[in-house]
Amino acid sequence: MLNNKLYIKTWGCQMNEYDSSKIADIMENKLNCKITTSIKDANILILNTCSIREKAQEKLFHQLGRWKILKKKNPEIIIGVGGCVASQEGKKILDRAYYVDIIFGPQTFHKLPKMIYKIRKFKKFLIDISFPKIEKFKFFPLTKTKNVSSFISIIEGCNKYCTYCIVPHTRGKEISRPYKDILLEIKNLSDQGVKEIHLLGQNVNSYKYIDKKNKKCYTFAKLLILISKIENIKRIRFTTSHPKDFSDELINVYQKIPKLVNFLHLPVQSGSDRILSLMKRRYSILEYTKIINKVRYIRPYIQISSDFIVGFPGETKSDFDDTISLILDLDLDMGFSFIYSPRPGTPASKMKDNINILEKKKRLYLLQHYITQQTKKFSLKMLNTIQIILVEGISPQNNKYFGKTENNRIVYFMSKINYIGKFINVKIIDSYIYSLYGEFISICNN
Ligand code: 5AD
Ligand code: SF4
């Protein structure tokens, strides 16, 4: 039997990173695959792609070109392309990269072990980019981890169809993972020492699972309450949520669950109602502001981060100014900002784009300037305060211990004692934009 050695290259968001970790788990479990970070040792190469922005296709063929050379030297190598570009392009990928063996989508990666077995047997190209009825979650083996903070996917796909976005086309319709499986997985993680859980999904707050046995509906708010009851899980984070589904029931959970961190990522995309409507975001700035105000009423010190798109077709200078005003008026803390990128087949890609690239770059630069000032301001405020961090490990960059604060800042500190997996109090002695330096003060009680 062949020794399977798998090398995975991942592009894109946390969701894709999570999918890749699951691919690794499944391949280890079913094919006894060893995971390698050295491509030279590998005989299975997987590229997990992302197509949300930029020139994803070009990037793909550049990467595959490099892998073609490896396959020429060793024809036994199997090349698989997965993720959103695979889902979007399908068999067309073969026109420019005939040597690819497997194409799979974000919802079919659990079939990889079978596909690899078949490829070896029949030496014939395989493709499966379907959105199967039996969701992939059912095939995930329980995760083995040494980490103290862990991601877990709770919902897949998206039904929102924002006019600029490719995700609903590549990842398919929303499917909520059964709440019992989520709780089991989190319990399994917590038994291995995980203290912080980060719930993932394109739209976590539209989570809805109806238990066929008791006909009960489990919303995201209810799920959070159940997770908070797992004793050794001390912190809960989630990304990404949509303002439209940010219900009062969810807002009230901030009162009920102190474990829910004082940090919320709630993408607004634009500060202009006109642009929000063209984006089909389904909320107004007033509604977005009301959500933030309600959450702040319960948690006055919660910090808010957001995503922004600049240069959406038809965005005027005044629309853009509204986005900057929103950042300042709502005193947002952090932001991820992007120049609008037309995605094939989306409604926005057919809209007239009348803003030149220089202007788009100028707007992006300005927005990033304002949001960075905000981040810096909040980080500076933390100077000389005592913060609680969960110690996650030693940083390969500076050899110092590091952990995260509730508000998502990395704190580095020196210590002769290993506190990994512990919550500790640190005094902040130096502040950079996204990271801080601290001094150990004491171990927390919990
Ligand atoms: N162009 C630019 N940014 C986009 N995003 C999603 N689609 C596009 C696009 N076509 C951004 C949004 C989203 C984040 C994950 O990526 O801001 O919240
Ligand atoms: Fe894309 Fe909108 Fe769905 Fe987010 S909510 S994944 S931006 S379609």
The pLDDT score that the predictor gives to residue 132 is 81
What is the reported pLDDT for 221?
Answer: 98
Contact, 176 vs 129, CB < 8 A?
no
CB atoms within 10 A of CB 33: 23
Q: What per-residue confidence (pLDDT) applies to 442?
A: 97
The ligand with the least distance to the CA atom of 244 is: 2
Per-residue model confidence (pLDDT) at position 2 = 67
CA pair distance 223, 203, nearest whole angstrom: 14
Best residue among 13, 15, 156, 158 to mutate for probing ligand 2's pocket (most ligand atoms within 8 Å of CB) is 158
85, 278, 309: residue to mutate for ligand 1 pocket, most atoms within 8 A of CB: 309
Nearest CA to ligand 1 atom 13: 307
Q: Is the CB of 85 under 6 A from ligand 2?
A: no
- What pLDDT, on a 0 to 100 scale, did the predictor assign at position 13? 86
Separation of 336 CA from ligand 2 center, angstroms? 15
Q: Which of 339, 277, 278 is nearest to 307 (CA)?
A: 339
Q: Whose CA is nearest to atom 2 of ligand 2?
A: 162
Are 95 and 61 in contact by the 8 Å Cβ rule? The answer is no
- Which residues contact ligand 1 via a Cβ below 6 A? 52-53, 164-165, 267, 269, 307, 309, 338, 340-341, 343
Report how far residue 296's alpha carbon sits from residue 431's, in angstroms, rounded to the nearest whole number: 25
Tell me which ligand sits closest to the C-alpha of residue 169: 2
CA distance 305 to 262: 11
Q: Which amino acid is at 307?
A: D
Q: What is the pLDDT of residue 134?
A: 63
Distance (angstroms) between ligand 2 centre and the Cα of 162 equals: 6
Query: pTM of this prediction?
Result: 0.94
Mark 188-219 as b/e (b = at least 16 C-beta within 10 Å). ebbeeebbbbbbbbbbbbbbebeeeeeeeebb
CA 263–ligand 2 middle distance (angstroms): 21
Q: Is the CB of 242 under 6 A from ligand 2?
A: yes
DSSP state of 300: T
202 CB near ligand 2 (under 6 Å): yes
d(CA 262, CA 282): 26
Pocket test for ligand 2, best of 203, 244, 245, 340 (most atoms within 8 A of CB): 203
Residue 161 CB less than 6 A away from ligand 2:
yes
Q: Which ligand sits closest to the CA of 167? A: 2
Cα–Cα distances in angstroms (integers) from residue 36 to residues 9, 46, 104, 151, in the given order: 11, 12, 21, 21
pLDDT value for 56: 81
Q: Is the CB of 160 under 6 A from ligand 2?
A: yes
- Residuewise pLDDT in 10s, the chain (446 residues): 568 999 999 998 889 999 999 999 999 999 999 999 999 999 999 999 998 887 888 899 999 999 999 999 999 999 999 999 999 999 999 999 999 999 999 999 999 999 999 999 998 999 999 988 667 888 888 888 999 999 999 999 999 999 999 999 999 999 999 999 999 999 999 999 999 999 999 999 999 999 988 899 999 999 999 999 999 999 999 999 999 999 999 999 999 999 999 999 999 999 999 999 999 999 999 999 999 999 999 999 999 999 999 999 999 999 999 999 999 999 999 999 999 999 999 999 999 998 999 999 999 999 999 999 999 999 999 999 999 999 999 999 999 999 999 999 999 999 999 999 999 999 999 999 999 999 999 999 76
CA 52 to ligand 1: nearest atom = 7
From first CA to last CA, the distance across the chain in angstroms is 49
| Selection from 236, 375, 259, 237 nearest residue 306 by Cα | 375
